[in-house]
Amino acid sequence: MDFSLSTDQKEMKELALKFAKNEMIPHSQDYDEKGKFPDEIFKKAWELGLINTCIPAEYGGSGFTSLDSVIISEALAYGCMGMNTAFMANDLALLPIVIGGSDEQKKKFLTPFTQEFRIASFCLTEPGNGSDAGGIKTSIKDGGDHWILNGEKMWITNAGYAHLFVVYGTTDTALKHKGICALVVDPKSEGVHIGKKEDKMGHRASDTRGVTFQNVKVPKENMLGKPGEGWGIAMSTLDHSRPLVASSALGGSQRALDLSISYAKERQQFGVPIAKHQAIQFMIAEMGMKVEAARLLVHKAAWMCDQGVRNTEIASYAKAFASDSCMQITTDAVQIYGGYGYSKEYPVEKLMRDAKLIQIYEGTSQIQRLVMARELLK
């Protein structure tokens, strides 16, 4: 058993952190305030090989392991959780292709992402179906030589900028999970309507929109797997994506911890730095403990993926623990900063706003607990 990172992983982490500190942190407040999409920063990160970490080497990717991916993602989230949501959404959308696509589909859809800078969106959630993903209504009908797609999707990250959508729909709602299919859709297809950008509490740099599909014709060869295999692909995607999303929370937590430590040493009250006060020490100790525990869970969940071991239970632990901890840690960071922490002049209030979303998306903390209980009690 070895908890240390490999030399390669240390270098990945160092590059991603350097990028986060030089290219993301100096701009994160501005992008947050204006709700600007970080396309230039996104592209720069892509040029450095920090994006689309899920693409296998045989399709032009770097051949990173899941563990590599979470290490990079944590560092990028350290720079800005909101921007990292935009970055990560590419992996979320490409993972179903990696998992469920044929060799031909992988060549066709994945390789272009390694040759030029491209953005992707994962379209699962609907206005009426969030946690109950199995109940999706978006319909996929056989139109002879193509599929016909109709329906409405909600909270679609990167929707306004995407070159590729992966859309989940059903051939028959009565079939429930068994009717679910995944289609690769060109966002420029006729009948695709992209809604206006949502005005969100946090992750304001990421572009979130509703998308409507009206009689959209999708080539037959764009279905991942066979009809009805969509649910399996979606669930398997989650096993890969949950550690990734959890690593984003971890990056935000680490940033909140680092900021709290430096501020606590700098800020004087009652004639001493507040770091000398036990009340502050306890909060910082709690933060450190949670960051370390979350990292162990995230790394283990990713490592299991790499070993080909089913990680559903651990991935849910990682996602729920890392995001719940991030909420607590960033809230405490604001507390340590006091009045300044509540002000937008300092970076911690943004961390607290950003933390909240990670408890919600990619399976709420409550859904994670249902998954855990199901796994534990089966």
Partner 1 sequence: MNIFVCVKQVPDTETKIVPTADGSFIETSSIKWIMNPYDEFAVEQALLVKQSNPAANVTVLRVGSVKDTEALRTAMAMGADDAFLVEAADNLDSYSIAKALKGAIEKTGKKPDLILAGKQAIDDDCLQVPQVLAEMLNLPSVSVIVGFELAGATVKVKREVEGGALEVYEMSTPCVLACNKGLNTPRYASLPGIMKAKKKPMAQHSLADVGVSDADRRVKYSQFKLPPEKPAGKKFDATDAAKQKEVVSQVVGLLRTEAKVI
Partner 2 sequence: MANVLVFTEVHDGKVKPVTLEILGKLAGQSADVAVFGDLGADQVAELAKHGAQNVHKLKGANLDKYSPEGYSNALAEFIKSKSYDYVFGGATSMGKDLLPRLATKFNAGLASDVVNFIFEGGTFAGTRPLFAGKCLAKVEVTGPKPHFVSIRPNALGMTANPTAGAGTAADVNANAGDIRAAIKDIIKAASTKVDLTEANIIVTGGRAMKNAENFKILEQMADVIGATVGASRAAVDSGFAPHAMQVGQTGKTVAPSLYIACGVSGAIQHLAGMRTSKVIVAINSDPDAPIFTKADYGIVGDLFQIVPIMTEEFKKLLGK
From the list 5, 15, 194, 261, which residue makes contact with partner 1 (rule: CB under 8 A)? 15
| Closer by beta carbon to partner 1, 258 or else 306 | 258
- In our burial notation (b when 16+ CB lie closer than 10 A, e otherwise), range 160-187 reads bbbbbbbbbbbbeeeeebbbbbbbbbeb
| Closer by beta carbon to partner 1, 48 or else 370 | 48
Tell me which stretch binds partner 1 (CB under 8 A): 12-20, 133-141, 161-169, 316-324.
Answer: 12-20
Q: Can residue 40 be called a binding residue for partner 1 (CB under 8 A)?
A: no
Q: 248 to each of 83, 100, 122, 359, how far by Cα in Å? A: 10, 25, 17, 11
Residues 332 and 326: their CA atoms lie apart, in Å, by 10
Residues 210 and 200: their CA atoms lie apart, in Å, by 13
Q: Which residues bind partner 2 (CB under 8 A)?
A: 26, 266-269
From the list 5, 36, 62, 146, which residue makes contact with partner 1 (rule: CB under 8 A)? 62
At closest approach, how far in Å is the CB of 206 from partner 2? Answer: 24
Q: Can residue 11 be called a binding residue for partner 1 (CB under 8 A)?
A: yes
Residues 151 and 140: their CA atoms lie apart, in Å, by 9
The verdict on whether 229 is a catalytic residue reads: no
Q: Can residue 266 be called a binding residue for partner 1 (CB under 8 A)?
A: no
At closest approach, how far in Å is the CB of 258 from partner 2? Answer: 14
Q: Which helix (H) or strand (E) holds 116?
A: none
**Apex 241 CA angle, 236 and 242, nearest 5:** 100
19's contact among partner 2, partner 1, none, with CB below 5 to 8 A by partner kind, is: partner 1
From the list 30, 40, 47, 132, which residue makes contact with partner 1 (rule: CB under 8 A)? 47
Question: Of 190, 292, 362, 375, which is the active-site residue?
Answer: 362
266's contact among partner 2, partner 1, none, with CB below 5 to 8 A by partner kind, is: partner 2
Residues in a beta bridge with 122:
166
At closest approach, how far in Å is the CB of 267 from partner 2? Answer: 6
268's contact among partner 2, partner 1, none, with CB below 5 to 8 A by partner kind, is: partner 2
What is the CB neighbour count within 10 angstroms for residue 138?
A: 24
Angle between helices 39-47 and 81-100 (to 10 degrees): 60
Q: 10 to each of 13, 16, 95, 187, 325, how far by Cα in Å? A: 5, 10, 24, 37, 24
26's contact among partner 2, partner 1, none, with CB below 5 to 8 A by partner kind, is: partner 2
From the list 20, 41, 50, 99, which residue makes contact with partner 1 (rule: CB under 8 A)? 50
Plot region of 224 (φ>0 → left; ψ -120 to 50 → alpha; else → beta): beta
At closest approach, how far in Å is the CB of 262 from partner 2? Answer: 9
At closest approach, how far in Å is the CB of 26 from partner 2? Answer: 6
267's contact among partner 1, partner 2, none, with CB below 5 to 8 A by partner kind, is: partner 2
292's contact among partner 2, partner 1, none, with CB below 5 to 8 A by partner kind, is: none
Q: Are 110 and 61 in contact (CB under 8 A)?
A: yes
- Sequence-distant (≥ 6) Cβ neighbours of residue 160 within 8 angstroms: 37, 194, 197, 207, 209
- Sign, CA dihedral 175-125-66-314, equals negative
At closest approach, how far in Å is the CB of 49 from partner 1? Answer: 3
From the list 5, 36, 49, 235, which residue makes contact with partner 1 (rule: CB under 8 A)? 49
Give the residue numbers marked as catalytic: 362
Binding site for partner 1 (CB under 8 A): 8, 11-12, 15, 18-19, 47-50, 62
